[in-house]
Chains A and B, each alone.
Chain A
């Protein structure tokens, strides 16, 4: 297993365009998290899945944001009609769930979005 994989690593787009990020978690992990990190700040929670179910969405996740995990494996995060304020690093992490006795999140390298 190569850990948590995120693609693309860097995306530059013009304001108003749609972008999609993909996250491939560690294969045996049933939880998957999305965080957003702006420069010099700590990551902020966006949403998380247990298997294919999206269990929580942050108020930060406006209607322009949508996340899916259709088969409980990889996940996508789509941002529609991007705005300059969406420029950030989008981090994906995966873990076993609490009942499995492990809540340690393993992070991917992130997908950096730049909106011009």
Chain B
């Protein structure tokens, strides 16, 4: 079975600081995609960043970057220079060969002004 684990239900970070959200998953596949989605309170799910499993280089999108460790099946999200607008639920979501996103339980990120 393909599983996704986000071990941090809640995290908080001081504004302008850096925070890392963790995600591990289990799969026997070698070709897949990994996503982080953000869901602000009462708002829709938004894509944050995408990583192809065949790429060794870690993806980066402005203040957001990932640390992808394929052998360890680990896919963490680093948010630099945290801003108040980053407050949200963050979901790790691999896209395996079963052709759908499998979501973790999420991490609620609070930004402290």
Partner of B99, one of A42, A91, A98: A98
- The reply to whether B50 and A107 contact each other, CB–CB distance below 8 Å, is no
Stretch at the interface among B11-19, B40-48, B64-72, B80-88: B40-48
Question: How many Å from the CB of A112 to the closest CB on chain B?
Answer: 10
Chain B residues whose C-beta falls within 8 Å of the C-beta of A108 in the assembled complex: 44
- Total count of chain A residues near the partner, CB < 8 A: 22
User: In the bound complex, how far is the Cα of B105 from the Cα of A45, in angstroms?
Assistant: 13
Chain B residues whose C-beta falls within 8 Å of the C-beta of A106 in the assembled complex: 47
Q: A91-B45, A107-B44, A109-B44 are in contact. Are A42 and B91 (CB under 8 A)?
A: yes
Q: Could you pull out 19 A-B pairs where Cβ atoms are within 8 angstroms?
A: A40-B106, A41-B105, A42-B4, A42-B91, A42-B93, A42-B103, A42-B104, A42-B106, A43-B45, A43-B91, A44-B103, A45-B102, A48-B100, A56-B99, A103-B99, A105-B101, A107-B37, A108-B44, A110-B44
Q: Which residues of B contact A (CB under 8 A)?
A: 4, 33, 35, 37, 43-47, 50, 91, 93, 95, 98-106
